[in-house]
Chains A and B, each alone.
Chain A
């Protein structure tokens, strides 16, 4: 699992990457009440808006950490947005992207580097 400074995580399996927000981000947001996941087939470039995650008093954009095409979205979050709080780095994933450039993943932080980064915040 790799991480971005915007607190997204990416897990690559073959050429498909699963994307979500980190436990730290989920805690910062508070109780998640809604997640707007992307449409399947949408093409995103690194840094584009990918999803929106909302608490009662805030809405945060989730940016695509890598470029590619959305092949799956976590529709289960529609009825159970609380999964993002309960299991942010597992069942609370947002979307799966068919990666166009796997090297974009490699340059992201590993867990140790991300934890170190969190220590600086």
Chain B
């Protein structure tokens, strides 16, 4: 087998050195009742060609976003990723290393993490960021649980604009930890409604901008209200590119900013792996989850980087750790960081402006279609429309016509009573022809 270097001769010699006569002697501690002779129900060794054939066959049964006019968003966005990014992340030294436990031979990864943390802090307008979490939704849940440790309160208020999967993830995890999670009804433009729900037992309020309906909101007033009540403000962003155009969570008074970083450097990948961005005020950092990279010097006084403040983490603090996370999203964070380095502020601002422009063009094209009403008042690259037909049905019909025309809100929140709401996004990858094709197909479907 091509991945196994030992030859039968090697194995025989090695058994001799060990002093046993068969491999079975090394499995002697396994109870006899649990020893398996093999798996007849599974296929045997296969060459590259055979494996490629099977997987290419499966891949061909999916409609790739790049092959059709494509307008899906709702927490995962299709952007162009420069070829350099994918080349560099496949360097052996990045791809096949692990968590930098030995800093002397992991300065590559560590310097990248330090740069990544600085980029994320700048992007979110916060003081510090960690070295990544799994994705935006788990980052949101971690942030909520962190506010319990900071405030010693256990009530979390989530706005009706937070992505329903983020809400469900947070409810699942935070409730297990004994928190009371209050989720306000889904609403296109009502982030401010959280203010009325803040009480003396509230640990945090969670708002999203742009929210799941695409609505961008200045949350400064919410921050003020939260702080007046001794609660913390968590701002969620599912489209990191929006931060190239819109006010950052930090500018608006957030205590913790969490975001999905997929849109920078990472492909859609059918939902994973993605990269959770987590940033906070400096004074909160000792309660933060996940790894942190810090600057220091070596024995000769040269600048270097190490993992630090590790006593927060599970491998040291065990049942008192701030999170149980170990493996994070290192390689996706690297992809994010490389793409961000290529963009720079100049490129990011341009990219964000282009996205916004495409979405406005899409709006202009769709608002004339019969049976379509634009719901979102202020948006970045995504907005909600109300249809006179069930959105799930419309999306299926559009797919039949070769257009991936957005995400029905009912798919995210079937019980919300918004079966007629469709979420549509347009990034820089969308062309004028794509928009025209969408408009034409939707006109037919809605007729």
Contact A58 B316 (CB under 8 A): yes
CB distance from B106 to the nearest CB of A (A): 17
Q: Name the B residues within 8 Å of A57 (CB-CB).
A: 310-311, 316
CB distance from A58 to the nearest CB of B (A): 7
CB distance from A79 to the nearest CB of B (A): 13
Question: Please, how many angstroms separate the alpha-carbon atoms of A34 and B287 in the complex?
Answer: 13
Contact B286 A34 (CB under 8 A): yes
- Chain A residues with a Cβ under 8 A of chain B: 34, 36, 54-59
Consensus secondary structure, chain B interface: helix
Q: Which of B320-361 contact A (CB under 8 A)?
A: 320
Q: Name the A residues within 8 Å of B316 (CB-CB).
A: 57-59
Q: Name the B residues within 8 Å of A34 (CB-CB).
A: 286, 311
Contact B317 A59 (CB under 8 A): yes
Q: Name the B residues within 8 Å of A55 (CB-CB).
A: 311
Question: Please, how many angstroms separate the alpha-carbon atoms of A36 and B317 in the complex?
Answer: 14
- Chain B residues with a Cβ under 8 A of chain A: 286, 310-311, 316-317, 320
Question: Please, how many angstroms separate the alpha-carbon atoms of A102 and B400 in the complex?
Answer: 82
A-B contact pairs, 16 of them (CB 8 A): A34-B286, A34-B311, A36-B286, A54-B311, A55-B311, A56-B310, A56-B311, A57-B310, A57-B311, A57-B316, A58-B311, A58-B316, A59-B311, A59-B316, A59-B317, A59-B320
Q: Name the B residues within 8 Å of A54 (CB-CB).
A: 311
CB distance from B247 to the nearest CB of A (A): 32
CB distance from B447 to the nearest CB of A (A): 66
Q: Which residue of A lies closest to B317 (CB)?
A: A59
CB distance from A108 to the nearest CB of B (A): 26
Q: Which residue of A lies closest to B309 (CB)?
A: A34
Q: Which residue of B lies closest to A61 (CB)?
A: B320
Q: Which residue of A lies closest to B308 (CB)?
A: A56
Question: Please, how many angstroms separate the alpha-carbon atoms of A59 and B317 in the complex?
Answer: 7
Q: Name the A residues within 8 Å of B311 (CB-CB).
A: 34, 54-59
Q: Name the A residues within 8 Å of B317 (CB-CB).
A: 59
Q: Name the A residues within 8 Å of B286 (CB-CB).
A: 34, 36
CB distance from B293 to the nearest CB of A (A): 14
Q: Which residue of A lies closest to B318 (CB)?
A: A59
CB distance from B70 to the nearest CB of A (A): 49
CB distance from A48 to the nearest CB of B (A): 15
Q: Which residue of B lies closest to A54 (CB)?
A: B311
Question: Please, how many angstroms separate the alpha-carbon atoms of A52 and B286 in the complex?
Answer: 12
Q: Which residue of A lies closest to B306 (CB)?
A: A56
CB distance from A54 to the nearest CB of B (A): 5
Question: Please, how many angstroms separate the alpha-carbon atoms of A34 and B309 in the complex?
Answer: 9
CB distance from B442 to the nearest CB of A (A): 58
Q: Name the B residues within 8 Å of A59 (CB-CB).
A: 311, 316-317, 320
Question: Please, how many angstroms separate the alpha-carbon atoms of A59 and B311 in the complex?
Answer: 6
8 closest cross-chain pairs (CB), A and B: A59-B311, A54-B311, A59-B317, A59-B316, A57-B316, A58-B316, A58-B311, A57-B310
Q: Name the B residues within 8 Å of A58 (CB-CB).
A: 311, 316
CB distance from A42 to the nearest CB of B (A): 11
